[in-house]
A and B are shown apart, each in its own frame.
Chain A
Amino acid sequence: MSLQVRFITRLDKYSVPDSTLVIPSSSTNAQLEAILKGLLQSSVSSKELTRVSFDFLCLNQLIRSSLEEHIREKDESLLESVIDIEYIEKFQAPEPEDALMHDDWVSACRSLGDTILVGCYDTKVHLWNNQGEHITSLPGHTGPIRSLLFIHSDEGEHEFISGSHDQTILIWKYDQNKNSVQSLITCKGHQGTIEALALQKTCFASGSFDKTIKLWGLEEQEDKSATKECRVTINAHNENVSSIGWSSSNELISCSWDQSIKLWNMDTLQSTQTFKCGKAALSLDISPINGLLICGFTDRFIRLYDTRVQEGYVLRSTFSSHSQWVPNVMWSRTTEHLFVSGSYDSLVKLWDTRSLKAPLYDLQGHEDRVLCVDWSINSLILSGGADNSLKMFSFK
């Protein structure tokens, strides 16, 4: 059977004339790419054509099977009419770089500029630069570190926040050039281990095993080693608050082991919406570009939610590929559709939200559970695991 297709794109570099082609319905990605490259031969040099590689979208989903099967799943009637196929440049596979070894499990990681922050089960915060050199280890906590946030770092002066099992949060100011801790502020108040931290411009929120979320301010303190009290406490959930995130400057989203995701209005401190999800939620992240929410669960699925929808289903899609719990998910900060997930099955997977059945890439390398992932810098994916290593994957 043959189908009528039309190639469309947003890439100016690789545009083709707007004509309808007839191709066999059993075409897969490889054949579509061959046809496209044939069309581009006239406008693009052959050297560049061999280098570049394309991915195809039809009906807003990446084509992963034959064209006919792909359309039949969505809408069979389209087989009769002209089908629009959008082509995009294929996202390059990340290349594994060095692995940074530690003494104990790596449970939290963050990157900013050219510095990598690592929190470890040996209660220390480690700083590395992105060439793989160890800068320093900072003791300060008395329990394993579960969560890190980077406030800013430039020219050797770093400011960051760490939350730990010992129920305190420390706000650090460290100067790399002088190798000294300028200030260390302790935030006490939680009655349980700190599981999650989320940063805003002037404040940050923390979620804990004591089922509350606390809001802390980031004002300049006179005393360099003071103890800070929290501004506000919200009795958020019935169980451990496993992850929190800011969706706008006064809306906070939290997910918990009590199988619900709640949206909080920070002016009124009330929950504006609650979604029940049936399984304990382990992690969440909100895309800075389009505001969509992804959550990782104990039933090995990652679910995508659109919290702004007024009617209809909030749950948009479910991604299943992991074989164990998914305690870490993170959106790309610059690309709309991409996110990365780390799981206890020792795999880190790079997903495109338009491809539901399978991730784009599986980043292998860990020998034990993956405890944290980070994609704060566009060109670097970090993942830390129970095999004491922090693995770095980079893009060109």
Chain B
Amino acid sequence: KTNLPRSNIPAPKLELPGHHESYNPSYEYLLDDAEVEALKEKMESDFDENERQTKTLFIPKKYSSLRQVPAYDQFVYERFQRCLDLYLCPRQKRMKANVTDLNDLIPDKPKPQDLHPYPLVQSLIYEGHKSIIRCLSCHPSGQWLASGSDDCTVRVWEIATTRCMNVFTFDKPVVSIQWNPVLSLLAVATGTQIVMINPKLGENAKVIFTDEFIKQLTYESSTNDDCQWTKISEETDKYIRLTVTHSIPIRQIEWQARGDYLGCVAAPRSDQSQSKSICIHHLSKGRSQYPFKQLKGAVQHVRFHPTKPIFVIATQHSIKIYHLLKQQLIKRLYVNTKWISSIDIHPLGDNILCGGYDSKINWFDLDLSVKPYETYRYHKRAIRCVRYHSKLPLFASTSDDGTCIISHCSVYSDLLKNPMIVPVKILRGHQFSNDLSMLDCVFHPTQPWIFTSGADSTIRLFTN
């Protein structure tokens, strides 16, 4: 039995005759005068004049035998009404959506031409690495770019001229780097170590202050049994200032916005305990804490909130938001993807982007609900990195299909208006190597430019 709408609506069914239409009904079906009056009044009050014309008032009568039953006086009238029902009543056909112009179906979003500025063309290529570049970080001033690669080096580049200012070599591949937002310090995660380097670039005053600051820090080695903090003096090494040694290989590091706390994700093997997977290091005290001992699931990515003391942890299947001072779980977000690869928090702090290996991007509006506000399936293959721009309303996502898709996202401070997200540009450029092409992306802090790192050992800058 299908639920398709029928093109003709059948006439209403006639009621089958019941007990009170019998020629010899039981006494209870007979109406006395008062009831007849009541019925007549009901007819007057409930139906208007036109409707009353179609209805007949039937009053049950009792006859002792069949030969006394007269002809039904309303017979012709009732037949007439039935005929009218059958052929005269309007049969309304179900209106189908008549789409003459398919363009009307496209949602009413602004055109990409109106949403400038955003990165458009590839401008510069930074060449020098010898292997896949896994991670990028842009200095807050916008003049230098640091990149870490599988060839165990970190290179610091001058953005305007693509000059490689400095190369730092380590023992193991570099998996994650980030510039400290406040000090002139670059944190590098290689193997089981986090190395903090002062590359001596940028404001002279800040460089000197950073060196002095670290020199006067004193670390008590007894507080940390698992992590070793060692300071390195100027005489031993010109650039490396600090190393923090773990026992498990590290996967990702992230500075907090004030530059004092460093969140660190380690990747323990499945037979090791998961309790040591997230560590928060306090730079000025030299302490390392493991606040999340009972975390279930392999941690993929962590982020600090830009303004509040909130920590967002993405495991394989869910995103959990913790308040660090109150030490409790605030929210748990239900994600649409099977395996989360990376997350990012909007600079204003109320929206979270989440990209997965099954090529879906989820946008969570924390004020709206714990389910994704929207899901985007623009990419064809796994998504490696999602990133917001810190000043402009843009976000980018890079994927294994060799594209980086830039989308415009206007987030309104009006609580009733939902964010408007419009994809504006697909950026291509990296060559494929071992099935990977674009790995990490980072926006310039102020300009509408984006740096992408690739498996072809180049970093490319796309400008507007």
Q: In the complex the two chains form, is A325's CB within 8 Å of B447's CB?
A: no
Report B451-464 CB contacts with A as 1/0, cut-off 8 Å: 00000000000011
- Taking a contact as CB atoms closer than 8 A, the residue among A191, A238, A279, A280 that contacts B204 in the complex is A191
Report A127-153 CB contacts with B as 1/0, cut-off 8 Å: 000000000000000001000000000
Chain B residues with Cβ below 8 Å from A105 are 161, 163
Chain B residues with Cβ below 8 Å from A209 are 141, 143
Chain B residues with Cβ below 8 Å from A257 are 142, 446-447
Chain B residues with Cβ below 8 Å from A324 are 123
Query: Which residues of B (199-220) have their CB < 8 Å from a CB of A?
Result: 202-205
If the complex has contacts A121-B163, A257-B447, are A192 and B142 also in contact, measured as CB distance less than 8 A? Answer: no
- Taking a contact as CB atoms closer than 8 A, the residue among A121, A192, A279, A299 that contacts B141 in the complex is A192
A240 at the interface (CB under 8 A from B): yes
Q: In the complex the two chains form, is B204's CB within 8 Å of A299's CB?
A: no
Shortest CB distance A123–B (Å): 12
A369 at the interface (CB under 8 A from B): yes
Shortest CB distance A178–B (Å): 33
Chain B residues with Cβ below 8 Å from A258 are 446
Query: Which residues of A (305-336) have their CB < 8 Å from a CB of B?
Result: 324-325, 327
Q: How far apart sit A258 and B163, CA to CA, in the bound complex (Å)?
A: 22
- Taking a contact as CB atoms closer than 8 A, the residue among B124, B143, B447 that contacts A193 in the complex is B143
Chain B residues with Cβ below 8 Å from A191 are 203-205
Instruction: Name A167's closest neighbour in chain B (CB-CB).
Output: B204
Q: In the complex the two chains form, is B161's CB within 8 Å of A192's CB?
A: no
A344 at the interface (CB under 8 A from B): yes
Q: How far apart sit A238 and B391, CA to CA, in the bound complex (Å)?
A: 13
B306 at the interface (CB under 8 A from A): no
A157 at the interface (CB under 8 A from B): no
Instruction: Name A280's closest neighbour in chain B (CB-CB).
Output: B447
Q: How far apart sit A277 and B46, CA to CA, in the bound complex (Å)?
A: 75
- Taking a contact as CB atoms closer than 8 A, the residue among B124, B142, B162, B464 that contacts A240 in the complex is B142
Chain B residues with Cβ below 8 Å from A280 are 447, 463
- Taking a contact as CB atoms closer than 8 A, the residue among A121, A192, A239, A327 that contacts B203 in the complex is A192
Query: Which residues of B (158-181) have their CB < 8 Å from a CB of A?
Result: 160-163
Q: How far apart sit A144 and B166, CA to CA, in the bound complex (Å)?
A: 13
B429 at the interface (CB under 8 A from A): no
Report B325-342 CB contacts with A as 1/0, cut-off 8 Å: 000000000000000000
Shortest CB distance A257–B (Å): 7
A371 at the interface (CB under 8 A from B): yes
Query: Which residues of A (80-135) have their CB < 8 Å from a CB of B?
Result: 105, 107, 121
Chain B residues with Cβ below 8 Å from A210 are 203
Chain B residues with Cβ below 8 Å from A24 are none
- Taking a contact as CB atoms closer than 8 A, the residue among B161, B162, B203, B463 that contacts A298 in the complex is B463
Q: In the complex the two chains form, is A239's CB within 8 Å of B464's CB?
A: no
A278 at the interface (CB under 8 A from B): yes
Q: How far apart sit A121 and B117, CA to CA, in the bound complex (Å)?
A: 33
Q: In the complex the two chains form, is B161's CB within 8 Å of A371's CB?
A: yes
Q: How far apart sit A79 and B190, CA to CA, in the bound complex (Å)?
A: 73
Q: How far apart sit A327 and B447, CA to CA, in the bound complex (Å)?
A: 17
- Taking a contact as CB atoms closer than 8 A, the residue among A121, A240, A369 that contacts B143 in the complex is A240
Chain A residues with Cβ below 8 Å from B202 are 192
Q: In the complex the two chains form, is A369's CB within 8 Å of B464's CB?
A: no
Counting chain A residues whose Cβ lies within 8 A of the other chain, the interface size class is: 20 to 34
SS class of chain A's interface: helix, strand, loop or mixed? loop
Shortest CB distance B372–A (Å): 35
Query: Which residues of A (354-394) have their CB < 8 Å from a CB of B?
Result: 369, 371, 386
Query: Which residues of B (94-146) have their CB < 8 Å from a CB of A?
Result: 116-117, 123-124, 141-143
Q: In the complex the two chains form, is A299's CB within 8 Å of B464's CB?
A: yes
- Taking a contact as CB atoms closer than 8 A, the residue among B116, B124, B446 that contacts A239 in the complex is B446
Q: How far apart sit A369 and B125, CA to CA, in the bound complex (Å)?
A: 12
Chain B residues with Cβ below 8 Å from A239 are 142, 446-447
Instruction: Name A104's closest neighbour in chain B (CB-CB).
Output: B163
Shortest CB distance B111–A (Å): 18
Query: Which residues of B (392-420) have their CB < 8 Å from a CB of A?
Result: none
Query: Which residues of A (155-211) have their CB < 8 Å from a CB of B?
Result: 166-167, 191-193, 209-210
Instruction: Name A105's closest neighbour in chain B (CB-CB).
Output: B163
Shortest CB distance B163–A (Å): 7
Q: How far apart sit A324 and B463, CA to CA, in the bound complex (Å)?
A: 11
- Taking a contact as CB atoms closer than 8 A, the residue among B160, B203, B464 that contacts A279 in the complex is B464
Q: How far apart sit A88 and B298, CA to CA, in the bound complex (Å)?
A: 76
Q: How far apart sit A278 and B202, CA to CA, in the bound complex (Å)?
A: 26
Chain A residues with Cβ below 8 Å from B123 are 298, 324-325, 344
If the complex has contacts A191-B203, A210-B203, A371-B161, are A325 and B124 also in contact, measured as CB distance less than 8 A? Answer: yes
- Taking a contact as CB atoms closer than 8 A, the residue among A166, A278, A282, A371 that contacts B117 in the complex is A278
Q: How far apart sit A121 and B124, CA to CA, in the bound complex (Å)?
A: 19
If the complex has contacts A192-B202, A192-B203, A239-B142, are A344 and B124 also in contact, measured as CB distance less than 8 A? Answer: yes
Q: How far apart sit A232 and B187, CA to CA, in the bound complex (Å)?
A: 37
Q: How far apart sit A299 and B447, CA to CA, in the bound complex (Å)?
A: 13
Report A277-296 CB contacts with B as 1/0, cut-off 8 Å: 01110100000000000000
Instruction: Name B447's closest neighbour in chain A (CB-CB).
Output: A280
Report A246-274 CB contacts with B as 1/0, cut-off 8 Å: 00000000000110000000000000000
Shortest CB distance B382–A (Å): 32
Q: How far apart sit A137 and B168, CA to CA, in the bound complex (Å)?
A: 29
Chain B residues with Cβ below 8 Å from A166 are 204
Instruction: Name A144's closest neighbour in chain B (CB-CB).
Output: B163
Q: How far apart sit A97 and B143, CA to CA, in the bound complex (Å)?
A: 35
Shortest CB distance B355–A (Å): 29
Report B428-464 CB contacts with A as 1/0, cut-off 8 Å: 0000000000000000001100000000000000011
Chain B residues with Cβ below 8 Å from A279 are 464
Chain B residues with Cβ below 8 Å from A121 are 163
Shortest CB distance B83–A (Å): 77
Shortest CB distance B114–A (Å): 14
Q: How far apart sit A299 and B448, CA to CA, in the bound complex (Å)?
A: 12
Chain A residues with Cβ below 8 Å from B162 are 369
Instruction: Name A188's closest neighbour in chain B (CB-CB).
Output: B204
Q: How far apart sit A79 and B202, CA to CA, in the bound complex (Å)?
A: 60
Q: How far apart sit A167 and B464, CA to CA, in the bound complex (Å)?
A: 29
Shortest CB distance A354–B (Å): 29
Q: How far apart sit A278 and B205, CA to CA, in the bound complex (Å)?
A: 32
Shortest CB distance A360–B (Å): 26
Shortest CB distance A212–B (Å): 12
Q: How far apart sit A12 and B463, CA to CA, in the bound complex (Å)?
A: 50
Shortest CB distance A71–B (Å): 32
Provide 23 A-B residue pairs closer than 8 Å at the C-beta atoms, listed in order of the A residue. Answer: A105-B161, A144-B163, A167-B203, A209-B143, A239-B142, A239-B446, A239-B447, A240-B143, A278-B116, A280-B447, A280-B463, A282-B160, A298-B463, A298-B464, A299-B463, A299-B464, A324-B123, A325-B123, A325-B124, A344-B123, A344-B124, A369-B162, A386-B161
Given A105-B163, A278-B117, A369-B162, 14 additional A-B pairs, CB 8 A: A107-B161, A144-B163, A167-B204, A191-B203, A239-B142, A257-B446, A279-B464, A280-B447, A298-B123, A298-B464, A299-B463, A325-B123, A344-B124, A369-B161
Q: Considering the complex of A and B, which 6 residue pairs feature the smallest CB-CB distances, nearest first?
A: A191-B203, A298-B463, A167-B204, A209-B143, A280-B447, A239-B446
